[in-house]
């Protein structure tokens, strides 16, 4: 009997870092880690008895962002570590807001990859920001690193996280705008009459996350998104507009534009990605201005810029100033210094405009963690692997920015099958594990 076995590598890295923040110069590795831990500790105090984080008017979004920040630091549901229970309660709260939608054939193609006729979204009906919230929840679910975990609350009780994600992918494909100038994008809810690029980046980030679990939208989603990318990028300066190329062109939407380019297959060297980077370089040192403009201190902009640059593996923005820890051009070093220096004594960060401390703190923690998602690699055993056959599986792994001390563990269906001890490790390496198919 033939079987394909999915192996998941989860790298949980414990940094050997001392404590102490000195906010007068560039952020050190120690200060960055200390800021992350202080931020998580503050977030933990903000969880309510029902599992939500914060007390504002958008609890699904606040909770998804908080859960992502904890998961990125290795606090997974069922993990039994410091904040695992907080993550479990947060996810249980989120699943109460799941919505099932009947989906069917769209002008560009069939979104229903599993053939069940169902799409799943997440949103608080009082907010009317279904697409935003669903994209954030997709990140939080995938970052749990538990595709086989079973939902225990809400209308999806009994589903696995992977089953939920598949129908969320289908819903995102179903909800893509079909025609007009907004074709290929998204707006506040599924099949909106037009698109805006503040909203559109969120389902795309969710689709990027889903691919970590081997869950792919139909190809037409990327084909249609290409149309939107080309439309909404401003021809004069390379930035992203809002619902037209010329409206509200700013850093936050241009960061999202890079996320979209990454998803459809661009790399940092494609002409349109280069043009977007030129815009970001020209605005890098602009302070927050009004609701929509600026960079450092504008939490929504900073998170959008971070995820675009990180996914595209862009290491340098020439206008980013030097500090005592990093050279000029190191955008992440510049962001890190700013965040370490502006953290509140209680571990939170100030909000900006619509984006309150619950959102800002979660996003800033993720920026300091320097990863859009937790470190994870999915490996398929060869199709010819018969049950009971032993094979060697090679795992590539890397640590960037910080030296890592900890343990890399390879799991098969939640059972550990191999480990590597990391001591002051930085760079890239690989290791081979012996694995028995079907065991």
**Amino acid 327: pLDDT:** 95
Q: Which ranges in 4-129 belong to alpha helices (H)?
A: 29-45, 59-72, 84-95
Lowest mean per-residue pLDDT among 62-66, 202-206, 207-211, 373-377: 373-377
Contact status, residue 362 vs residue 43, Cβ threshold 8 Å: yes
Q: Is the pLDDT of residue 4 over 70?
A: no
Q: Is the pLDDT of residue 126 over 90?
A: no
Higher pLDDT, residue 37 or 11: 37
Among candidate residues 11, 33, 10, the one with its CA nearest the CA of residue 21: 33
**Amino acid 434: pLDDT:** 75
Higher pLDDT, residue 406 or 419: 419
- Residue 370: CB atoms within 10 A of its CB come to 17
Lowest mean per-residue pLDDT among 94-98, 323-327, 332-336, 381-385: 381-385
Model pLDDT for residues 156-168, shown as the tens digit of each residue: 999 999 999 999 9
Q: Is the pLDDT of residue 320 over 80?
A: yes
Phi/psi-derived region of residue 398, left when phi > 0, alpha when psi is between -120 and 50, beta in every other case: beta
Q: Is the pLDDT of residue 374 over 70?
A: no
Under DSSP, is residue 332 helix (H, G, I), strand (E, B) or coil?
helix
Q: How confident is the model at residue 366 (pLDDT cuts 50, 70, 90)?
A: very high
Q: How confident is the model at residue 16 (pLDDT cuts 50, 70, 90)?
A: very low
First CA to last CA distance, the chain? 13
**Amino acid 125: pLDDT:** 85
As assigned by CATH, the class of the 32-375 domain is mainly alpha
What secondary structure letter does DSSP report for 27?
A: P
**Amino acid 351: pLDDT:** 97
Model pLDDT for residues 59-68, shown as the tens digit of each residue: 999 999 999 9
Under DSSP, is residue 213 helix (H, G, I), strand (E, B) or coil?
coil
Cα 287 from Cα 280, distance rounded (Å): 13
Under DSSP, is residue 219 helix (H, G, I), strand (E, B) or coil?
helix
Cα 86 from Cα 90, distance rounded (Å): 6
Domain boundaries, the chain: 32-375
């Amino acid at each position: 009997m033939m079987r394909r076995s999915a192996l998941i590598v989860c790298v949980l890295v414990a940094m050997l870092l001392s404590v102490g923040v000195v906010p007068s110069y560039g952020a050190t590795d120690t200060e960055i880690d200390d800021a992350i831990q202080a931020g998580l500790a503050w977030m933990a105090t903000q969880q309510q008895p029902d599992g939500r984080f914060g007390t504002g008017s958008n609890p699904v979004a606040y909770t998804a962002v908080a859960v992502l920040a904890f998961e990125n630091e290795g606090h997974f549901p069922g993990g039994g570590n410091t904040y695992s229970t907080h993550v479990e309660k947060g996810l249980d709260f989120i699943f109460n807001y799941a919505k099932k939608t009947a989906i069917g054939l769209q002008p560009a193609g069939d979104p229903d990859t599993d053939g069940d006729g169902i799409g799943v979204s997440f949103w608080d009906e009082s907010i009317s920001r279904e697409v935003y919230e669903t994209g954030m929840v997709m990140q939080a679910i995938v970052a749990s690193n538990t595709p086989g975990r079973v939902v225990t609350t809400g209308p999806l009780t009994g589903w696995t996280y992977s089953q939920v994600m598949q129908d969320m992918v289908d819903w995102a494909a179903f909800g893509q705008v079909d025609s007009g100038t907004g074709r290929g994008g998204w707006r506040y809810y599924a099949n909106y009459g037009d698109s805006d690029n503040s909203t559109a980046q969120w389902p795309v980030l969710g689709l990027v996350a889903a691919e970590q679990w081997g869950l792919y939208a139909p190809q037409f989603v990327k084909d249609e998104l290409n149309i939107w990318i080309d439309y909404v990028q401003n021809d004069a300066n390379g930035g992203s507009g809002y619902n037209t190329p010329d409206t509200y062109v700013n850093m936050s939407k241009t960061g999202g534009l890079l996320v979209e380019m990454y998803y459809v297959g661009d790399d940092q060297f494609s002409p349109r990605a280069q043009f977007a980077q030129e815009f970001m370089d020209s605005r890098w040192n602009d302070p927050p201005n009004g609701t929509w403009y600026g960079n450092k201190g504008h939490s929504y902009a900073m998170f959008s810029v971070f995820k675009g640059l990180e996914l595209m593996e862009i290491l340098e923005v020439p206008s980013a100033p030097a500090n005592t820890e990093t050279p000029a051009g190191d955008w992440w070093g510049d962001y890190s210094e700013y965040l370490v220096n502006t953290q509140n004594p209680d571990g939170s960060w100030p909000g900006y405009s619509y984006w309150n401390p619950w959102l800002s703190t979660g996003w800033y923690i993720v920026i300091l963690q320097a990863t859009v998602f937790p470190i994870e690699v999915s490996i398929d055993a060869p199709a010819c692997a018969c049950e009971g056959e032993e094979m060697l599986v090679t795992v590539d792994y890397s640590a960037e920015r910080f030296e890592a001390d900890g343990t890399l563990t390879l799991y098969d269906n939640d059972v550990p099958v191999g480990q590597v001890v990391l001591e002051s490790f930085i760079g890239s390496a690989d290791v081979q594990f012996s694995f028995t198919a079907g065991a």
